[in-house]
Amino acid sequence: MVQRIRERRRAHSLATRASAIAAALLAATAVQAAEPITIGLGMALTGGLAAAGKPALLAMQIWQDHINAKGGLLGRPVKLVYYDDQTNPATVPALYTKLLEVDKVDFIVSGYGTNLIAPAMPVAIQHDRLFLGLFGLDVNSEFHYPKYFSMLPTGPDPTHAFPEPFFKIALGGTPKPKTIAIVGADAEYPKKATQGVRDIAKREELDIVYDRSYPPSTADFSPIVHAIQATNPEIVFVASYPPDSAGMLRAATEIGLKTRYFGGGMVGLQFTSVKQQFGPKLNRVIDYDFWIPSPTMQFPGITEFLKTYQAKAPSEGVDPLGWYLPPFAYADLQVLGEAIEATKSLDHAKLADYIHSHSFDTIVGAVAFGDNGEWSKPRVIEVQWQNVTGTGIDQFRDAKTEVILEPAEYRTGEVIAPYSGGEK
């Protein structure tokens, strides 16, 4: 009798499990059969920003896989439609026009970087579309477009919030520095960053002894570093994109640049390949970042995302660690997806209203948007490389060689000064 009851229970359990599996398969089949919700973008898959663009695209594809495995959005699968913008701003307007008018995508998000987001803004505005920007510095300051949202933790005043932590470190030195050199590429992001630096320097009554821009095509930075050294500045702030950052650091090392604080706005030093290329030459460079795996920045979901990303990275030939841009690329689509599900709508005006008025829990922490679609609060972190030895990747797998100096709530160490051409 007992055996028969057990058999009936087992049969019932198996039937229930089979029904659940069948229901899941039917739901998945229904989602696959539905018309997809399409998200279009351009991304730097070649050119100077490809080392960040390709990892960002992989992160977005991981989000696409995750959301589709859960049944998609509004019962429909999600599909990314993307093209290579070649790290060339001139390609961007036509690319986004094609996405909207030929591919007829439901949504657009940006590729990586200020220089590639700015030329897409007029297209988004002309078509009255929601537009999410990925790592664009104060792009909306000229447009004031209410349907634009920035996935960059620089707060409502990006131009000044971006360099502020660097200055907090430098101006905390004893004695307080009196002189600064400012240098940046003649391009959208460096122009905005260096303007913020000038404003802060004026506020703090620093003497600007060098202030120059250089063409983005510059290959030899030795003359620039020699000219900076001739002014004997105590602070050197550099706003540069990856090829320039590598060239500037190489020149600073070869010449033996001597200053108290060096770095600030050097894009590219966050990439694992660049860290391995320079190794100990990074020591004592101070630079911005937005997330590193320190104990103070373990937001819910970030570890699981990085495990998935790092498992896929080798076969995709992208940054093996993926700390810099991928988490924010994933979070960018998390915001869009959550807004769609919460409003049960694809209406761009409704979605913009929702994003403006709600906070989002993402793998890079809580995100809320304020004026001009910027983060309501800044969270720029300033780091310094310390005790890097050799070029092996293992020393870069945790945050021991990359110390957070600011903000105080994320701090993991103290600044080491002066800078003296890195360590050869």
HEC string of the chain?
A: CHHHHHHHHHHHHHHHHHHHHHHHHHHHHHHHHCCCEEEEEEECCCCCCHHHHHHHHHHHHHHHHHHHHCCCECCECEEEEEEECCCCHHHHHHHHHHHHHCCCCCEEEEEECHHHHHHHHHHHHHCCCCEEEECCCCHHHCCCCCCEEEECCECCCHHHHCCHHHHHHHCCCCCCCCEEEEEEECCHHHHHHHHHHHHHHHHCCCEEEEEEEECCCCCCCHHHHHHHHHCCCCEEEEEECHHHHHHHHHHHHHHCCEECEEEEEECCCCCHHHHHHHHHHHCCCEEEECCCCCHHHCCCCHHHHHHHHHHHHHHHCCCCCCCCCHHHHHHHHHHHHHHHHHHCCCCHHHHHHHHHHCEEEECCEEEEECHHHCECCECCEEEEECCCCCCCHHHHCCCCCEEEEECHHHCCCCCCCCEECCCC
Residues 148 and 164 in one domain: no
User: For the segment 238-270, what is each residue's pLDDT rounded down to a tens digit?
Assistant: 999 999 999 999 999 999 999 999 999 999 999
The boundaries of the domain holding residue 173 are 160-289+386-420
User: For the segment 322-343, what is each residue's pLDDT rounded down to a tens digit?
Assistant: 999 999 999 999 999 999 999 9
The residue with greater pLDDT, 88 or 17, is: 88
* Residue 12 is assigned to a structural domain of this protein: no
* Residue 359 is assigned to a structural domain of this protein: yes
User: For the segment 345-365, what is each residue's pLDDT rounded down to a tens digit?
Assistant: 999 999 999 999 999 999 999
* Residue 142 is assigned to a structural domain of this protein: yes
Residues 78 and 187 in one domain: no
Residues 90 and 222 in one domain: no
CATH number for 229: 3.40.50.2300
Per-residue pLDDT band at 421 (split at 50, 70, 90)? confident
Residues 272 and 316 in one domain: no
Residues 279 and 403 in one domain: yes
Average the pLDDT over 35-51 and give the result.
97
**pLDDT score for 2:** 44
Q: Report pTM.
A: 0.90
User: For the segment 63-116, what is each residue's pLDDT rounded down to a tens digit?
Assistant: 999 999 999 999 999 999 999 999 999 999 999 999 999 999 999 999 999 999
Domain tally, the chain: 2
* Residue 19 is assigned to a structural domain of this protein: no
